[in-house]
């Protein structure tokens, strides 16, 4: 079984490994030699009819197989609540369903776009590590409309297949300005660059994400604020 990112198969990679069936979802045939496989009596399963034609026209390796088109996924959908509130340290189990039910390769894979905020394992278990987030699911086309700093993505082996996404909104929701009635002209804009110092005046960086809970000084140009993280 080979996924859609497969680009090359080395010489003699499957020498001495007779195969009954080969599954590969790369739309374009990976570079391979006539000796990449030791025999070509098995069935070659590819993503769709268009891919099947491309593999049949490959004269180095793939044309030697009898090729067949798979049933591709039409949807991956997150099951359960569409919005999840969580705090750092929380563990959340996500589940997803791929359809139709007779998809040839029904495996679902999970990944995080920002492991510093949240990680996810192969079973869809998310551990929240960043600032207090709001998790909400949304369609693939809505990704640009979400201000979150991390996305948990459920996807399949197929190229250009639908995905399901869980957005983690890691805005600076856990920063509390000690001075409640600070003038607007002196308010820190946390969407712009700023510097963080400890209470002894030692510079710590340009974000509060990596510092422990406690009191800090934040400066932005001529603006300064004492904050509780």
- Output 50-58 pairs: Cβ under 8 A, ≥24 positions apart: 51/26, 51/27, 54/27, 54/28, 54/29, 55/29, 58/29
Q: What do you get for the CA distance between the two ends of the chain, in Å?
A: 47
Closest by CA position to 41, among listed 60, 69, 26, 22 = 22
Could you tell me if 150 and 168 are in contact, meaning their C-beta atoms sit under 8 angstroms apart? yes
CA dist., res. 182 & res. 135, Å (int): 30
Q: What is the mean pLDDT of each run of 10 residues along the chain (229 residues)?
A: 86 82 91 87 91 90 92 90 69 92 93 84 87 55 47 87 78 45 66 82 82 81 79
- Could you say which DSSP state residue 73 is in? P
Could you tell me if 218 and 196 are in contact, meaning their C-beta atoms sit under 8 angstroms apart? yes
């067949």: which residue's tokens? 68
Buried b (16+ CB within 10 A) or exposed e, 76-101: bebeeeeebebebebebebebebeee
Give the number of other CB atoms < 10 A from CB of residue 196: 20
Greatest extent of the chain over all pairs of C-alpha atoms, in Å: 77
Q: What is the pLDDT of residue 113?
A: 83
CA dist., res. 28 & res. 60, Å (int): 13
Q: What is the pLDDT of residue 133?
A: 52
Q: What is the pLDDT of residue 147?
A: 42
Q: What is the pLDDT of residue 150?
A: 74
Nearest-5° Cα angle at 117, 112 to 123: 40
Give the number of other CB atoms < 10 A from CB of residue 193: 10
């Amino acid at each position: 079984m080979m996924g859609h990112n497969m680009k090359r198969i080395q010489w003699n990679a499957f020498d001495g490994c007779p195969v009954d069936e080969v599954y590969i979802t790369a739309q374009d045939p990976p570079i391979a030699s006539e000796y990449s496989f030791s025999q070509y009596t098995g069935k070659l399963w590819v993503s769709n009819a268009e891919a099947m034609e491309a593999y049949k026209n490959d004269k180095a390796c793939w044309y030697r197989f009898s090729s067949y088109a798979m049933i591709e996924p039409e949807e991956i959908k997150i099951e359960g609540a569409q919005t999840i509130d969580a705090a750092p340290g929380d563990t959340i189990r996500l589940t997803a369903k791929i359809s139709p039910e007779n998809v040839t390769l029904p495996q679902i894979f999970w990944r995080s776009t920002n492991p510093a905020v949240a990680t996810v394992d192969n079973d869809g278990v998310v551990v929240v590590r960043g600032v207090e987030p709001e998790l909400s699911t949304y369609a693939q086309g809505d990704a640009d409309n979400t201000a979150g700093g991390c996305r948990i993505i459920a996807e399949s082996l197929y190229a250009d297949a639908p995905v399901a996404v869980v957005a983690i909104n890691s805005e600076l929701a856990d920063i509390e300005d000690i001075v409640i009635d600070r003038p607007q002209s002196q308010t820190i804009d946390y969407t712009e660059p700023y510097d963080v110092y400890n209470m002894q005046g030692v510079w710590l960086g340009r974000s509060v994400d990596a510092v422990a809970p406690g009191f800090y000084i934040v400066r932005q140009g001529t603006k300064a604020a004492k904050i509780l993280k």
